[in-house]
């Protein structure tokens, strides 16, 4: 497995962006997991705080970890289009640079905390792009998170907290929890005190490991 650190000029964000990629040396049509860090992190968080490199060793899966500057990986109301960056530009770049699969059923997206929300929203907004979307401690406590985050962090991303809440509610509506979806599958890893565990990397690590197992097993996942 090769560990590739990339600095490239993003057109969507109109600035240079850094990302880390784990790529199988024999990657031919391999699957891709877009793994998005939570608040306070960057492209290296999963590499340093979980054993993601161990989990994918010898498996036909590339892991793509961009830096997202605490912007939820959503299109910011007062800022840059991070969702367009992740969904449109990054996928196109990965598939131009490397021999990864171009099939939606081989593409996965996951995120921790605020990026878990971003990952789910990306898959909701683009139902034909991903096999599965995962959120680690990302969704169920988002309202709580919104209460605790300072206004200056919410304002660039959503505007007001009320607007943020509306985006959440709209997304929950689209998720349509009661029915089995035909398209993307959704997995939400959370527990009784999810927010308390938000910064607990051993907890996240367990779930990242499970995610890789799910992907290796063909993405047989369910609501947790």
Interface with other proteins (CB under 8 A) = 1-9, 23, 25-27, 92-93, 95-99
Residue among 26 and 143 whose Cβ is closer to other proteins: 26
Min dist. Cβ of residue 132 to other proteins (A): 24
Report the nearest approach of other proteins to the CB of residue 92 (Å): 8
Q: How far is the CB of 179 from other proteins (least distance, A)?
A: 36
Shortest spacing between CB 88 and other proteins, in angstroms:
14
What Rg value do the Cα atoms of the chain yield, rounded?
A: 16
Tokens for 97, please give them: 């640079």
| Letter string b/e over residues 74-101, b meaning 16 or more CB atoms within 10 A of that residue's CB | bbbeeebbbbbbbbebbbebbeeebebb
* Alpha-carbon gap, residue 219 to 223, rounded angstroms: 12
Judged by CB, which is closer to other proteins: 23, or 146? Answer: 23
CA distance 151 to 119: 22
Shorter beta-carbon distance to other proteins: residue 99 or 104: 99
Structure tokens at 107: 């593409």
Would you say 10 or 184 has its CB closer to other proteins? 10
**Residue 111: in which H helix or E strand, if any?**
strand 107-112
């Amino acid at each position: 497995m090769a560990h590739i650190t990339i600095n490239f000029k993003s057109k969507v964000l109109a600035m240079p962006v850094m990302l880390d990629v784990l790529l199988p040396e024999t990657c031919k049509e391999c699957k891709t997991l877009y793994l998005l860090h939570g608040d306070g992190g960057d492209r290296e968080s999963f590499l340093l705080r979980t054993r993601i490199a161990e989990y994918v060793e010898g498996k036909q899966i590339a892991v793509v970890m961009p830096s997202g500057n605490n912007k939820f990986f959503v299109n910011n109301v007062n800022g840059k289009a991070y969702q367009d960056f992740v969904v449109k530009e990054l996928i196109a770049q990965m598939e131009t640079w490397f021999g990864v699969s171009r099939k939606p059923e081989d593409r996965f997206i996951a995120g921790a905390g605020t990026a878990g929300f971003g990952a789910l929203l990306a898959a909701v907004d683009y139902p034909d792009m991903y096999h599965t979307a995962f959120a680690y401690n990302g969704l169920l406590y988002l309202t709580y998170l919104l209460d605790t985050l300072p206004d200056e962090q919410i304002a660039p991303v959503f505007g007001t907290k009320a607007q943020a809440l509306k985006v959440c509610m709209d997304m929950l509506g689209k998720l349509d929890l009661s029915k089995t979806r035909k398209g993307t599958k959704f997995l939400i890893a959370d527990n009784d005190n999810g927010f308390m565990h938000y910064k607990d990397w051993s907890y996240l690590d367990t779930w990242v490991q499970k995610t890789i197992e799910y992907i290796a097993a063909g993405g047989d996942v369910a609501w947790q």
